[in-house]
Amino acid sequence: MKKRDYLIRTLIAALALAGLLWTAEGRAATKMPSFALENVRDGKIVDSNSLKGRVLLLTFFATWCPPCLEEVPTLVKLHKEMEGAGFSVIGMSVDQQEPAIIAKFVEKKAINYPVLLAESKTTMDFGGIYGIPVAFLVNKAGNVVKKYTGYVDHAILEKDIRSLL
Average pLDDT per 10 consecutive residues for the chain, totaling 165 residues: 49 39 47 96 95 96 96 97 96 93 95 96 93 96 96 95 96
Shared domain for 128 and 64, answered yes or no, is yes
| ∠ Cα 116 68 99 (to 5°) | 30
> What is the per-residue pLDDT for 1?
52
Shared domain for 48 and 125, answered yes or no, is yes
**Predicted model pTM:** 0.81
Beta bridge partners of 1: none
Spell out the residues 6+ positions from residue 58 whose beta carbon is closer than 8 angstroms to its own: 32, 90, 92, 126, 135, 136, 138
> What is the per-residue pLDDT for 12?
45
Domain that residue 82 falls in:
32-162
> What is the per-residue pLDDT for 70?
95
Shared domain for 73 and 132, answered yes or no, is yes
> What is the per-residue pLDDT for 139?
97
